[in-house]
Structure 1
Amino acid sequence: MKLLIAILFLCSLAFIGAAQTEVTQDTLHFKEAPDDLKKLIEEISATKEKVSSDADIEIDGLLFDETKTKSGRDFYDFFYTAWEAPKGARNYFIYISEKPYRLSTTMIEIRINETLVFQSFLQPRNEIVEQLAQQAVARTQVYLANYEELVRQLNGEDRSGTGIF
């Protein structure tokens, strides 16, 4: 914050200095920026490059367990053991949540960055829980594999227009 204030102060000094130029015979003469200001601008541009490269480093692929019952916890365990992220997938979190339903069944949901990817009823039978976990892993992997491609297509030249309707 102090660095930003210093930058604004030095820029305003440079602007005020530029505003006090002399006008002689329809030409303007500007004073050259002080060396301290040039040095500060170089330091800021160097830190911007560092920040942009550091911003790419994140903790990706966290699995959040928001289950409430034993069968939900078993589903999470099966999902976790079978989970392997697709190559190139980044900037995502996986939320596995459970909502109570009728009697001993519950609703299991898998969300990737707040987008619902998988939803199913979960019964307390272990074989069914394991099969549902494998299906959920497959569907989640397909979603993540296609997600990068969809983002690339949406930002491509085909989607950019001229602005003329």
Structure 2
Amino acid sequence: MKQLYINSIFSCLMLIFNSAYGQLNESVIGKINIQESDNLVLINAQVDNEEPIFKNDLYYNLLALKKNTAGNYSSNRQEGEFSLEPNESKNLAEIRLSIDSGDDLRIYLFIKQNNIVISKDSLHILQSKRENVKEQVIREVDFELKGIVIDEVITKIGKDFHDYFYQEYSTSGKLYPFIITISEKPYFGRSSIITITSEDKKLFEFMSKPDEEFLKEAVKATLKNVNLYAKQRQLFNNGRF
């Protein structure tokens, strides 16, 4: 089961899943639509092609982050490739969530072409704790989210590595504006392969071992690669790399 760990400043927002932040394409428009019924929210990702030109090599990512009144976080994500016919409007994905009083829900949609974000949208829904008061819905145009680590591990060793990594990362003073995903897949016997990625890029990978010192050394190597990736990413975004 996935667990989403976020630093204490949940309101900082980010541009994600993009290694090159080019000029946004005004002819492809991504938009988040929501429908509500009682305590259920249906989230729909829509994209419009406003040009009479076929567009391919497109990729979408729809991400919903929810924080409940107990301070627990959960995440839901839909992503995939698609194309657009001339002047086509298309529904890309849906996420159905329950939302209770006091829940904080943030939704992000990113549209990429050739690994560059060309359209983005976001919504913030704060379900009021007071009865008979509609929830607050805010459309956020510019956003930056820092320090998110997504846990997709399947074993105790993987969970231990995630915990060691998150502790070091969250206290390092360097929380980067991109999501880091720690995933794990089975290997021979009881071993597994742990992979650390960000924005579709593999940052580090190793074969797990039930040894605390080994896992902590793997954390150091991972942080080194994350820091290197952050520097390269910054240079690229500044047009110097």
1:56 equivalent in alignment to 2:168: no
Say yes or no: does 1:81 pair with 2:148: no
Distance of 1:149 and 1:115 partners within structure 2: 16
Against the structure 1 CA distance between its residues 65 and 136, is the aligned structure 2 distance closer, same or farther, given a 3 Å change threshold? Answer: same
| % identical equivalent positions | 26
Alpha carbon RMSD of aligned pairs, Å?
Answer: 2.0
The 1:63/1:71 distance shift into structure 2, 3 A limit, reads: same
Question: How far apart, CA to CA, are the structure 2 residues paired with 1:85 and 1:105?
Answer: 32
1:85 and 1:141 in contact (8 A); partners too: no
Q: Within the alignment, does 1:153 sit opposite 2:239 as a pair?
A: yes
Instruction: Identify the residue that residue 151 of structure 2 maps to in structure 1.
Output: 65
Structure 2, unaligned stretches of length 5 or more?
1-139
Cα distance in 1 for residues equivalent to 2:228 and 2:173: 10
The ranges of structure 1 where at least 4 consecutive aligned residues each deviate by more than 6 angstroms after the TM superposition are none
Structure 1 residues not aligned, in runs of 5+: 1-53, 156-165
Q: 66-75 or 54-63, which moves further after superposition?
A: 54-63
1:59 to partner: Cα distance:
2.2
Pick the aligned partner of 2:184 from 76, 98, 101: 98
Higher strand share: 2
* Paired position in structure 2 for 1:143: 229
Larger Rg: 1
The TM-score normalised by the length of structure 2 is: 0.38
Number of residue pairs matched? 100
Asked if the contact 1:104/1:123 (under 8 Å) is kept, the reply is no
SS of corresponding position for 1:78: helix
CA distance in 1: counterparts of 2:154 and 2:218, whole angstroms? 17
Q: 1:119 aligns with which of 194, 197, 205?
A: 205
Higher helix share: 1
Displacement of 1:138 in angstroms is 1.5
Q: Which has the higher contact order (CA 8 A, sep 6+)?
A: 2
In 1, Cα distance between the equivalents of 2:185 and 2:221?
19
Q: Partner letter of residue 158 of structure 2?
A: G
Q: CA deviation at 1:85?
A: 6.0
